[in-house]
Amino acid sequence: MKSEKVVVCGAGGFIGGHLVGDLLRRGFADIRAVDLKPFSDWFQRFPEAENKQLDLQSREACEKALQDAHTVYNLAADMGGMGFIEHNKALCMLSVMINTHLLLAARKFGVSRFFFASSACVYAADKQTSPEVVPLKESDAYPAMPEDGYGWEKLFSERMCRHFREDFGLQTRVARYHNVYGPHGTYDGGREKAPAAISRKVIQAKLSGNHTIEIWGDGKQTRSFMYIDDCLKGTQAIMQSDILEPINLGSSELVTINGLVDIVEEIAGIKLKRIYNLKAPKGVNGRNSDNTLIRHYLGWEPSTRLRDGMERTYRWIYDQIVKK
Ligand code: NAD
């Protein structure tokens, strides 16, 4: 199968860039990497791949992208951390055009496997009101009350994948990612997520000598964060599996935002005065991934310790900031 054409959509982004690199390392020889952004803005770009700049919201572009494709990973979406998705609901929902047009093109060209990157934001808000979380299991997505905007788009697109499989026989696979982090991602500009944002703030405090940090919310909200290597392994395992329903792909190592700041401070060798911005977007109060199903199907779950992944992420962001 390694000689068949694999198309990675959203390849200029964080996870897509890593996926192209990983596929090449694993011997996949025919990779098409597609993203909306100009090449200079891609986080990673590999000359061995066929790189294309296309706006996948258009059906015509999706047909260009998927011509001769055997396998398709859809990681393209207009997205970001809480700061972005709370203020850009229409833009988030417009990603529905990407997945819908990609599915239509995949059907037209007889694609063998199609992967969609969904999100823990599909889960009902009323199941995430307390920091003392009960981990979210896949069935908790219904009755539906997902994150407004971004979460609704993900839930709708999940169902499109399901119905394309049931009605047209297209082999779709869906993973619900829980907060992915690592090097080669967004760390400033408004789309960054907590691990990168906190790393950047700690680095800036360290370099400037202003030893304060602003934290969004009261810092008591809980989350789990999955290191990129686990995301890549899980994504490809789910793609190759017979898991037909959307499945959690996330770490179950729960941490408060304050705990995450502790980890980054320890890596940086610094202690900062914390200023809590209670008006900033902070998302749900608590969220964790129930990994019973992925353990059952794959005999595996994401296991990189947060401390280890954050060390690598911090070092990369530090290098980017001092290089500027
Ligand atoms: P990212 O923003 O780094 O990458 C997404 C890429 O999609 C970007 O490079 C963007 O330019 C591209 N894109 C957007 N609109 C496009 C269009 N019209 N045509 C072509 N390309 C377009 O995000 P990421 O963190 O790599 O996330 C990848 C996927 O995983 C997304 O679908 C995201 O919703 C999902 N996801 C990510 C996380 C996470 O924590 N990173 C969590 C849950 C789900």
Q: What digits encode the pLDDT tens for the residues 5-15?
A: 999 999 999 99
Q: Which of ligand 1's atoms lies nearest the C-alpha of 37?
A: 11
The span from the CA of 199 to the CA of 267, in Å, is: 10
Q: Please state the rounded mean pLDDT for residues 233-261.
A: 97
Is residue 189 a part of any domain in this protein?
no
Model pLDDT, residue 186: 93
Residues 273 and 165 in one domain: no
Give CA angle at 31 (26, 34), nearest 5°: 130
* Pocket-testing residue among 8, 14, 34, ligand 1, by greatest number of atoms within 8 A of Cβ: 14
Burial (Cβ within 10 Å: 0-12, 13-18, ≥19) of residue 91 = middle
Q: Which amino acid is at 316?
A: W
Q: Please state the rounded mean pLDDT for residues 12-37.
A: 98
Is residue 1 a part of any domain in this protein?
no
Across the chain, what does the average pLDDT equal?
96
Residues 173 and 294 in one domain: no
Residues 219 and 231 in one domain: no
Residues 129 and 212 in one domain: no
Is residue 142 a part of any domain in this protein?
yes
Is residue 219 a part of any domain in this protein?
yes
- Sorted by sequence, the CB contacts under 8 Å of residue 36 that are 6+ apart come out as 12, 53, 54, 55, 56, 76
Which residue, judged by its Cα, is nearest atom 28 of ligand 1? 75
Q: pLDDT at residue 152 above 80? A: yes
Q: Which of ligand 1's atoms lies nearest the C-alpha of 78?
A: 14
Residues 155 and 230 in one domain: yes
213 — phi, psi (to 5°)?
-140, 135
Burial (Cβ within 10 Å: 0-12, 13-18, ≥19) of residue 251 = buried
* Tens digits of residue pLDDT in 174-195: 999 999 999 999 999 988 999 9
Q: Pick the more confident residue, 111 or 286.
A: 111
- pLDDT exceeding 90 applies to what percent of the chain? 90
Model pLDDT, residue 191: 87
Q: Please state the rounded mean pLDDT for residues 152-180.
A: 98
Model pLDDT, residue 285: 86
Is residue 163 a part of any domain in this protein?
yes
Which residue, judged by its Cα, is nearest atom 41 of ligand 1? 180
Residue length of the chain? 324
H-type alpha helices, 189-227:
194-208
Domain that holds residue 305: 194-223+254-323
CB 3 within 8 A of CB 9: no
To the question of pTM greater than 0.85 for the whole model, the response is yes
The span from the CA of 208 to the CA of 220, in Å, is: 27
The span from the CA of 180 to the CA of 231, in Å, is: 7
Model pLDDT, residue 133: 84
In the reported structure, the alpha carbon of residue 78 is separated from the centroid of ligand 1 by a whole-number distance in angstroms of 6
Model pLDDT, residue 208: 96
Ligand 1 contacts (CB < 6 A) are 10, 12-16, 35-37, 55-57, 75-79, 98, 117, 119, 177, 179-180, 186, 193
* Last residue within a domain, chosen from 204, 234, 249: 249
Write the DSSP symbol of residue 120: G
